[in-house]
C-alpha cells in the first residue's frame, strides 16, 4: 500500500506480515515495518480488522472500514518511535475506507483482497492509506 503517497512494505529489523482468518469469523491483516537505528526504534504498522463477519462467502463485496469493535471492520495506522512514543490513527464513522475480498480458497487457506482508508489521530491529523492489496495464507 501507499501511506501518504509513500510505499509501505514489511521491512527492516524483524518485519511482520501476518494474516489470520482461522475461525471463519474474525480476520486481521498486520503489516509492520521495524527499523533499529542504534538504540532508537522506529515502527510503522498497518492493521485491518474484521470481527464476527463472514468474508469467505462475500468475494467481490466491498465492505466499509469504520469504527473498531465487534461486528465491524476497521483500519488502523500506528507509529512508534523510542523518542516520541506511539501515535494511533483509526478509521471511524466519518473517516472511513474500504476492504474488498477478491479471492478466497478455504482448502488452501488463501485469502486475497484490496483496501484503502483514511485514519485520524486524537489531534485531528489524518493519514491516507491507498492502493493496499494482499494475497496471503491464513
Taking only the tens place, the pLDDT of each residue in 70-107 is 889 999 999 999 988 999 999 999 999 999 999 999 89
Which residue bears the cell 469504520? 66
DSSP string, 61-127: PEEEEB--STT-EEEEEEEEETTTEEEEEE--SSS-EEEEEEEEETTTTEEEEEEEEEEE-TTS-EE
Mean pLDDT over residues 11-24, rounded?
84
pLDDT recorded at residue 22:
76
Closest CA to 43 of 30, 28, 24, 56: 30
Average pLDDT taken over every residue of the chain: 93
Which band of pLDDT confidence, cut at 50, 70 and 90, is reported for residue 52? very high
Q: Is the dihedral of CA 42, 2, 67, 32 positive or negative?
A: negative
- Asked whether the predicted pLDDT for residue 111 surpasses 80, the reply is yes
Query: Whole-angstrom Cα distance, residue 97 to residue 114?
Result: 11
Amino acid at each position: 500500500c501507499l501511506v501518504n503517497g509513500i510505499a509501505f512494505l514489511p521491512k527492516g529489523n524483524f518485519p511482520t506480515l501476518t494474516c489470520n482468518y482461522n475461525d471463519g469469523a474474525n480476520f486481521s491483516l498486520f503489516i509492520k515495518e521495524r527499523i533499529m537505528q542504534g538504540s532508537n526504534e522506529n515502527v510503522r504498522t498497518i492493521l485491518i480488522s474484521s470481527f464476527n463477519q463472514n468474508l469467505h462467502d462475500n468475494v467481490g463485496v466491498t465492505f466499509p472500514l469504520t469504527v473498531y469493535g465487534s461486528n465491524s471492520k476497521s483500519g488502523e495506522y500506528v507509529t512508534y518511535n523510542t523518542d516520541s512514543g506511539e501515535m494511533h490513527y483509526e478509521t471511524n464513522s466519518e473517516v472511513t475506507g474500504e476492504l474488498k475480498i477478491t479471492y478466497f480458497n478455504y482448502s488452501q487457506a488463501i485469502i486475497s483482497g484490496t483496501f484503502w482508508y483514511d485514519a485520524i489521530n486524537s489531534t485531528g491529523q489524518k493519514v491516507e492509506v491507498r492502493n493496499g492489496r494482499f494475497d496471503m495464507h491464513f
